[in-house]
Chain A
């Protein structure tokens, strides 16, 4: 019981993932700045933002549904932390695992997006509502490709448990090369999930202020930001567990270093991606996802199916 609580709260729960999330938020911000030829924030900026926001007053709009308004940030943060328990972090085995946990992880990672939608919807402000609708529209565009490419490597490994998938691919590292298409698709879909440029349409600053989060302030906003930071790390960990299953047999210390390097690698790709393009319009985003990303995901599925006939 005590061990579970520590697991939940400290390691690898809220505190650890929160700190890691903020460290990677800093990496993202500094890289974004340096690519733009700016200096960027000092290393403690995400922590300073956190403390500052946490010290501020929560304001719940009179028109908003006060219960939903307060619950959704917590829901978002919790779901991402829970998802991390099923993802292999530095060993091939995740903290908990069972057959089919890959599906559960993807569903758990959908909960933050759903809670953004609910938060925006129950804020009842115009900007929030538009943001909420955009969040959900976008979800339908990237979720299917993401699902397909996370599960496709599972076909080859003949398991839908992330831990077993990681174990299979670290035993057959060459087979990873068959998942390159999936890796690219997953990066694009993750960018959409995290609502970053070019898919930051639900919070497009110049159109709908802060979208879903327009009415949020103080501790509730900080929970949302924390949830996004954690989601970034968990998403990157998911991608690296499925597509980059290297360095698992090195023991805890080196395994941890390799884990950090892998997440950093994914983060760098995400940051460079974010820097080099403009924001799309919502219908362009949906078109792009169904026209290019979804067929690519199906292609990955076929590659895995064909290969599994030979490997099996």
Chain B
């Protein structure tokens, strides 16, 4: 049977209900533990095979050797990263992890360049990213996915 205002009952039912929308910046959104957010680098596990660099579709990762020993640092260009987490899949040594950190907007492009310093080296002061301080980024907690 055709009638206008078919949704009326449904609409009136919702007047007293809480809105389905979330006041986002004021109320944080829960993302699932499996969410592919910012990639975390664990320097101790890295053997410098650079498979991640080779597979990255956006050329967002650079792995550099630091000093004489086999210690590596990673540089992420978060503005290039497409958050596909292919590098996590490519890494055989579990040196890369996804985190649920997704609020990555920055005022300048410079801040989007993120350096994960290798442990023995003192943190480089000028390139300090706002996203996560490099001092503890190397030992950032592994994502719950792992």
Contacts and interface: CB of A to CB of B under 8 A. Distances in A.
**Chain A in direct contact with chain B (Cβ < 8 angstroms):** yes
Interface string B1-34: 0001111100110110101110100000000000
A35 B11 contact: yes
A37 interface: yes
B114 to A, nearest CB: 35
Contact of B23 (A34, A37, A39, A275): A39
Contacts of B4: 276-277
B11 A272 contact: yes
Interface in A22-53: 31, 33-40
Contacts of B8: 272, 276
Q: Give the interface SS of chain B, mostly helix, strand, loop or mixed.
A: loop
Contacts of A277: 4-5
Nearest to B23: A39
B5 A35 contact: no
A38 B19 CA distance: 5
A37 B11 CA distance: 8
B141 to A, nearest CB: 34
Contacts of B11: 35-36, 272, 275-276
A277 B4 CA distance: 7
A35 B10 CA distance: 9
Contacts of B21: 37-39
Interface in A44-70: none
A52 B20 CA distance: 29
B12 A35 contact: yes
Contacts of A31: 15
Contacts of A272: 8, 11-12
A192 to B, nearest CB: 15
B20 A38 contact: yes
A308 B51 CA distance: 93
Contacts of B12: 35, 272
B14 A39 contact: no
Contact of A37 (B5, B6, B19): B19
Nearest to B6: A276
Interface string A261-296: 000000000001101110000000000000000000
B5 A34 contact: no
A50 B81 CA distance: 41
A295 B117 CA distance: 80
B23 A35 contact: no
A33 B14 CA distance: 10
A34 B5 CA distance: 17
Nearest to A33: B19
Contacts of A34: 14-15, 19
A39 B23 CA distance: 8
A37 B14 CA distance: 6
A70 to B, nearest CB: 39
Contacts of A38: 19-21
A33 B18 CA distance: 11
Nearest to B11: A35
A111 B20 CA distance: 41
A34 B11 CA distance: 8
A277 B14 CA distance: 16
A74 B133 CA distance: 58
A272 B5 CA distance: 9
B63 to A, nearest CB: 46
B20 A37 contact: yes
Contacts of B7: 276
B15 A35 contact: yes
Residue with the greatest number of chain B CB neighbours at <10 A, chosen from A37, A275, A277 = A37
Given A31-B15, A34-B15, A277-B4, 14 more contacts: A33-B19, A34-B14, A35-B12, A35-B15, A36-B14, A37-B14, A37-B17, A37-B21, A39-B21, A272-B12, A273-B5, A275-B11, A276-B4, A276-B6
16 contacts: A34-B14, A34-B15, A35-B12, A35-B15, A36-B11, A36-B14, A37-B17, A37-B19, A37-B20, A38-B20, A39-B23, A40-B19, A272-B11, A272-B12, A273-B5, A276-B4
Q: Which 6 A/B pairs are nearest by Cβ-Cβ distance?
A: A39-B19, A276-B5, A35-B11, A37-B20, A37-B14, A276-B8
Interface of B: 4-8, 11-12, 14-15, 17, 19-21, 23
